[in-house]
């Protein structure tokens, strides 16, 4: 039975965060025996945006990273690296993400090494037990270190509903490789299976989630910061995601990444079979946490069989992009990041070819100006309306 530790942490004061993470790790029996002095430890961050400051709750907060570096360097005597590949394919975007989140300052102060996955050597990973992705490339450093710590941010996601430990490993793929995943898996359910394929081959040894301030609403970039006041830790990404998603009001097995990973035996997604240490889920739940606008399938997940749930998930999550030109700054980041080539310039304006748009949210993820609006299909809007009529809360 996997353990998920839940520890309160009221704000991003360094000493509070340090002690909360330390306590969360102490509640995971045997974790101290896994980490030995001299080990090479890689902190795999969640750096979606290359321009959003820490208070926007888009990226892993730098204080969490600073506390983890301190723990692994000073308390465990390890050689620490900090790495990721940002959500944007713009040149130097990951470099800028390290700068905007002040990770470069942490590295300078502590001697920790920064690993830009986009500049790292890569290796090909082959998955014999795949469902969608049989081969993909990852940053080589993920295979050369002794211990990988995933440090996701607690957020909602318009395409996958919730994004946490499982989805964080998508950032193991450098640069354009992430766009290729969206092209191979354009529908939400298939994309979730692809994420589980990636997680299957790049499972971290430990997960420490930054849930002090999460993101609610239409995450992972266009939502709003929401105080949750928690640090979560586990050695099982699926179990941690089940606990974290439940805290913010989801039915865990209605989240496709959790359900598929559980069904494939890659972790435990059923709350009754997870040992929760520290705080209880009921005591720290956030009942008013706003879900993304496609949240009706959370209700359906309690009643529908898997094949109908998958159909509803794809219908309610399937979208196409539109542009709010009054907010658009014409940075054209959306055009650069569109894997389907559905966005282009016309007289300086960004336009969307709806026939090409695969609704992958890549444009929405990299737009820092709320200029992208994801529109639902008629079927999706109808299903959401039906769910509202049946009493589903927090569906917009």
Q: What whole-number distance in Å separates Cα of residue 131 and Cα of residue 206?
A: 25
Q: What pLDDT, on the 0 to 100 scale, is given for residue 299?
A: 46
As beta bridge partners, residue 83 has 44, 115
Structure tokens at 308: 């109908």
pLDDT digits (tens, 9 = 90+) for 375-388: 766 555 555 565 55
Closest CA to 197 of 139, 132, 152, 145: 132
Which residues on neighbouring strands pair with residue 210, listed in sequence order? 153, 231
- Cα distance between residue 266 and residue 46, in whole Å: 21
The pLDDT of residue 340:
85
Q: Is 119 exposed, middle or buried (0-12, 13-18, 19+ CB in 10 A)?
A: middle
- pLDDT of amino acid 387: 53
DSSP strand pairing (275-278 vs 135-139): unpaired
Residue 307 is predicted with a pLDDT of: 54
> What pLDDT score does 96 carry?
93
Domains in the chain: boundaries? 3-284, 296-389
- In order of 35, 104, 138, 181, 275, the CA distances from 2 in angstroms are 18, 34, 27, 30, 6
- Distance, in Å, from the CA atom of 165 to the CA atom of 47, rounded to the nearest integer, reads 13
Question: In this predicted structure, what is the pLDDT of residue 59?
Answer: 96
Name the stretches of the chain with pLDDT < 70. 293-318, 376-396
Beta strand ranges found along the chain (DSSP E): 3-8, 40-44, 79-84, 113-116, 122-126, 135-139, 147-150, 153-157, 161-163, 206-216, 224-234, 275-278, 319-323, 343-346, 349-352, 372-376
Distance CA 344, CA 380 (A): 26
pTM listed for this prediction: 0.86
Residue 75: per-residue pLDDT: 96
Q: Is the peptide bond before 220 cis (omega within 30 degrees of 0)?
A: yes
Q: Element (H or E) spanning 201, and its range?
A: helix 188-201
Selected from 3.40.50.12280, 3.40.50.300, 3.40.50.11440, 3.40.190.170, the CATH number assigned to the domain covering 3-284 reads 3.40.50.11440
Nearest to 45 by CA among 158, 141, 172: 172
Q: Does domain 296-389 have CATH number 3.30.70.20?
A: yes
pLDDT in the model for residue 385: 60
Q: What would the two tokens of residue 261 be? A: 């990973």
- Predicted local distance difference test score (pLDDT) of residue 308: 52
Closest CA to 169 of 147, 140, 200, 190: 200
Instruction: Read off the pLDDT of residues 235-270 as tens digits, 9 standing for 90 and up.
Output: 999 999 999 999 999 999 989 999 999 999 999 999
Max CA separation in the chain (angstroms): 61
How far apart, in whole angstroms, are the C-alpha atoms of residue 306 and residue 298?
Answer: 12
Which of these, 375, 255, 266, 279, lies nearest to 323 by C-alpha position?
375
């Amino acid at each position: 039975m996997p353990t998920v530790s839940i520890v309160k942490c009221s704000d991003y004061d360094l000493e509070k965060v340090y002690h909360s993470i330390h306590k969360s790790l102490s509640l995971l029996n045997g974790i101290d025996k896994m980490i030995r002095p001299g080990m090479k430890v890689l902190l795999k961050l969640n750096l979606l945006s290359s321009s959003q400051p820490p208070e926007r709750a888009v990226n892993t907060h730098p204080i969490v990273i600073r506390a983890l570096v301190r723990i692994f360097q000073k308390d465990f005597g390890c050689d620490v690296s900090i790495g990721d590949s940002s959500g944007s394919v713009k040149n130097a975007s990951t470099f800028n993400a390290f700068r905007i989140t002040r990770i470069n300052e942490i590295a300078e102060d502590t001697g920790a090494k920064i690993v830009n996955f986009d500049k790292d050597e890569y290796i090909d990973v082959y998955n014999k037990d795949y469902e969608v992705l049989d081969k993909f490339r990852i940053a080589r450093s993920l295979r050369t270190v002794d211990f990988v710590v995933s440090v996701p941010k607690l957020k909602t996601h318009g395409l996958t509903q919730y994004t946490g430990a499982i989805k964080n490993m998508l950032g193991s793929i450098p640069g354009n490789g992430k766009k290729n995943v969206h092209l191979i898996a354009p529908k939400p359910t298939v994309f979730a299976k692809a994420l589980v394929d990636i997680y299957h081959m790049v499972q971290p040894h430990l997960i420490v989630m930054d849930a002090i301030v999460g993101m609610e609403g239409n995450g992972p970039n266009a939502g709003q910061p929401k105080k949750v006041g928690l640090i979560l830790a586990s050695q099982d990404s699926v179990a941690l995601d089940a606990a974290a998603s439940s805290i913010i009001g989801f039915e865990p097995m209605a989240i496709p990444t959790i359900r598929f990973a559980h069904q494939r035996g890659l972790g435990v997604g059923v709350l009754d079979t997870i040992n929760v240490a520290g705080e209880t889920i009921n005591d720290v739940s956030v009942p008013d946490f706003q879900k993304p606008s496609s949240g009706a399938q959370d209700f359906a997940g309690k009643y529908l069989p898997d094949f109908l749930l998958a159909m509803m998930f794809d219908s309610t999550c399937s979208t196409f992009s539109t542009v709010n030109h009054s907010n658009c700054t014409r940075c054209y980041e959306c055009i650069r990041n569109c894997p389907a080539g559905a966005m282009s310039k016309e007289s300086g304006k960004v336009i969307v070819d709806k026939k090409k748009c695969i609704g992958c949210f890549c444009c929405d993820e990299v737009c820092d100006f709320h200029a992208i609006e994801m529109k639902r299909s008629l079927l999706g809007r109808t299903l959401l309306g039906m769910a509202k009529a049946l009493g589903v809360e927090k569906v917009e």
